[in-house]
């Protein structure tokens, strides 16, 4: 069984990507006439522009939260450096494998004198906090049928991040590293969490909410939304974004986010509206990350 799984693993990402793209293409084919009939008003373009600005702000805020995670391990790093590194490496998540932004951040953090273990943990803890935050936001607008499952997943992720669970894992990994490098030395490590990451967790909730506002503004560019539907939109966005984060083989969540958002929101909105809004939101997301990375690159060049 293990041999079989190891053999199909390299192809799994392409299967997932292929299935999601097939679903998107089929949905577009079935509803292309509705999409062609959609027109964006002047106020709609203002809403799309606002969505772009809000999404850029979300990525800057996420960089600040990552800086806070590093500070939890008592490391002296500069906020401007953290924002610059985070934004510059963010677009690397669209490369095949969906890990290169993590690798780049670990490497950059190590270069400024942060221990390798701390650099790795700061990068690995961030998506766990994001997942917990997305599940928490999704609970607000979830249906009664799915609420219990989402709540249990939320508790599971939150529990993993508790110091009583995470610190033994940190200690175990430190022992393995020490035995591999210096077998005769006693495995001692000072790296540990002293408290639960409340501030970074609240920060990630704010990040998901800001991203949700960008998604809501994108939908508003095509259709007015009733107040009762706002909670549903935020819940659907959070789940779609979360699946795009955790499902393997989807660089930047491409395909997975779109399919999930379509499935969850189709009962409330027409497929033509959804396809247009989701397509524009993907464009806005890529533009926001590219623009933010460009600003970070210019800031870096100005310091040389």
How confident is the model over 246-270, as pLDDT tens digits? 776 666 667 788 888 888 898 888 8
Task: Please name which of 172, 139, 175, 142 lies closest in space to residue 158, comparing C-alpha atoms.
Answer: 139
Interacting residues of 278 by C-beta distance below 8 A, sequence separation 6+: 257, 258, 261, 262
Q: The whole model's pTM is what?
A: 0.82
**Of the ranges 22-36, 78-92, 250-264, 285-299, which one carries the lowest mean pLDDT score?**
22-36
The 10s digit of each residue's pLDDT in 135-162 is 888 887 766 566 777 778 778 888 877 7
The 10s digit of each residue's pLDDT in 158-201 is 887 777 877 777 776 666 554 544 444 444 446 677 778 889 99
For the chain, the C-alpha Rg in angstroms (whole number) is 21
For 102-117, give one letter per residue: b (16+ CB within 10 A) or e: bebbbebbeeeebeeb
Q: How much is the pLDDT for 30? A: 52
Structure tokens belonging to residue 12: 């799994």
């Amino acid at each position: 069984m293990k041999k079989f799984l190891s053999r199909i693993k390299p192809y799994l990402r392409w299967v997932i990507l292929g299935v999601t793209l097939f679903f998107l293409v089929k949905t577009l084919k079935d509803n292309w006439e509705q999409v062609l009939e959609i027109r964006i008003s002047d106020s709609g373009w203002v809403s799309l522009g606002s969505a772009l600005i809000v999404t850029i702000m979300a990525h800057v805020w996420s960089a600040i939260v990552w800086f806070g995670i590093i500070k939890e391990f008592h490391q002296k790093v500069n906020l401007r450096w953290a924002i610059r590194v985070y934004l510059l490496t963010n677009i690397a998540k669209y490369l095949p494998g969906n890990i290169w932004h993590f690798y780049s951040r670990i490497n950059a953090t190590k270069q400024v004198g942060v221990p390798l273990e701390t650099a790795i943990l700061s990068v690995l803890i961030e998506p766990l906090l994001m997942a917990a935050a997305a599940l928490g936001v999704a609970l607000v607008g979830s249906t009664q049928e799915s609420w219990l499952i989402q709540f249990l997943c939320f508790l599971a992720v939150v529990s993993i991040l508790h110091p009583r669970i995470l610190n033994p894992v940190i200690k175990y990994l430190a022992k393995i590293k020490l035995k591999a490098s210096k077998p005769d030395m006693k495995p001692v490590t000072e790296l540990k969490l002293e408290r639960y990451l409340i501030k970074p967790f609240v920060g990630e909730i704010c990040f998901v909410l800001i991203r949700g506002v960008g998604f809501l503004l994108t939908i508003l560019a095509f259709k007015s939304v009733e107040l009762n539907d706002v909670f549903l939109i935020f819940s659907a966005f959070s789940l779609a974004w979360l699946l795009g984060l955790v499902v393997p083989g989807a660089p930047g969540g491409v395909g997975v986010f779109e399919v999930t958002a379509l499935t969850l929101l189709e009962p409330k909105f027409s497929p033509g509206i959804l396809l247009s809004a989701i397509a524009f939101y993907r464009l806005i997301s890529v533009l926001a990350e590219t623009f933010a990375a460009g600003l970070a690159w210019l800031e870096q060049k100005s310091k040389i």
